Amino acid sequence: MPQHFDAVVIGTGQGGSPLAVRLGESGRKTAVIERAAFGGTCVNVGCTPTKSYVASARTAHVARHAAAYGVQVAGPVTVDLAQVKARKDRIIGESRSGVEKWLRGTRNLTVFNGHARFTGPRTLSISGHDGQLIEQIEADEIFINTGTRAVVPPLAGIERIRYYTNASLLELTELPEHLAIVGGSYIALEFAQVFRRFGSRVTVLVRGERLLAREDADFAQAVQAVLEREGVSFRFGAQPQRVEPLAGDGVRIGFEGGEAALEASHLLFATGRKPNTDDLGLAAAGIDTDRHGMIAVDGALRTQAPGVWAIGDVNGRGAFTHTSYDDYQIVAANLFDGGARSADTRIMAYAVFVDPPLARVGLSETEVRASGRPALIATMPMTRVGRARERGETDGFMKVLVDAQSKQILGAAILGIEGDEAIHTFIDIMAAGAPYPTLQYAMHIHPTISELVPTLLDRLKPLQ
């Protein structure tokens, strides 16, 4: 007979781990199942390792420009990728072991290492890496938190070359001589700047005609200008069609339309991610997925199957660590605190961690224009910000849009130093449902980036 649990969590990502702990601490007999590394994408191949690389790359960049600040650095600045990786691995190891220790030390919580598959509406089999059955379990409540993985396009010749994804590129110990990156969104751009600052030649291959297709064109162009100034090359309208191996790990990339081929020492695919739902046996639970493999959920993150929820990247409600954690908070509030929270009312916010970062909350200018509503808009260059001038980092600008009638902030974005922190002034006001004068009349600390937000709002004018 299957072992019975009150609740089961599949996956230990940023939503799954705290939910499993909360379930166990609530008195429910709970199981958590992890088939790979504890902590999910963020800890192991996402935010934690990539932002440690961003930090190393920024250190190299600042050192190379130290003379502009009156600081002399003797000799050329070089990067030892093996040491960068070792630092990253230490940070990951601490986080990963911390998550595992937290889970294993929680009362009423049993940890299984294995792969879970549905065998019925609320029954699961757990198998090891060798495919052997470890356990069969059943539960009253099941929470799916299995995350996503990188998409690799089916190019002709792909099976003959060595290529990299965001995960495998982080295992290199020697710098690529020439890194080609397929993709034009945040993962591609973060890696492009990082490896250029490390010392690699970098070429980014973009299928469309500009970067960051979901962003306003002015922000995309500004990001491109920063990266080009640092030596990153771009090829737009580039649609890879075939690949073939060269000496070592090298690759020749051929394109549609007879465009000249590109040769590179390393090839990274940053062309999107797909959910880890194809081997969960969802059909046995009566759960459908869309054409992308995402699990449909309602605002409370419940699937179509009674007693089954899906949180994190697999539900298509957001592909970020913070949205996954917010999913946990929504489920926890509704299950344990008598709440009625819903993802339907969530205000989307995110950042692209290039340097300087691009951070956004709510609607873009493009989206506001498409809505046809009367709105106000204001922009301000970072050259107006004392903190940016003092730091010698004045790239970028701020933008905000508000509803002309309700005075509610519709959206805001900051491309600039510490913009990923300053954006929270907008996030919090929007979450509170307060009109923009609440922020406009606030007194902020000088000298900071956020102190110019009220000044930005002083510049509001009708959106033409």
- Which residues are known binding-site members for FAD? 51, 313
Give yes or no for a contact between 176 and 43, defined as CB atoms under 8 angstroms apart. no
446 among known catalytic residues: yes
Q: Which residues are annotated as a binding site for NAD(+)?
A: 183-190, 272
The dihedral region occupied by 317, where left means phi > 0, alpha psi between -120 and 50, and beta the remainder, is alpha
In angstroms, the CA 383 to CA 389 distance is 6
Using alpha carbons, list the distances in angstroms from residue 35 to 20, 100, 112, 134, 138. 15, 13, 8, 12, 18
User: Can you say whether the dihedral through the CA atoms of 232, 237, 239, 240 is positive or negative?
Assistant: negative
Using alpha carbons, list the distances in angstroms from residue 309 to 172, 222, 287, 300. 37, 40, 10, 8
Give yes or no for a contact between 39 and 13, defined as CB atoms under 8 angstroms apart. yes
Token digits of residue 462 = 């009708």
263 Cβ contact partners less than 8 Å away, ≥ 6 residues apart: 178, 246, 250, 251, 252, 253
Token digits of residue 424 = 């929270």
Residue 322 has φ and ψ, to the nearest 5°, of -70, -30
The residues with which 269 forms a beta bridge, in sequence order, are 182
Q: Tell me which residues are annotated as active site.
A: 446
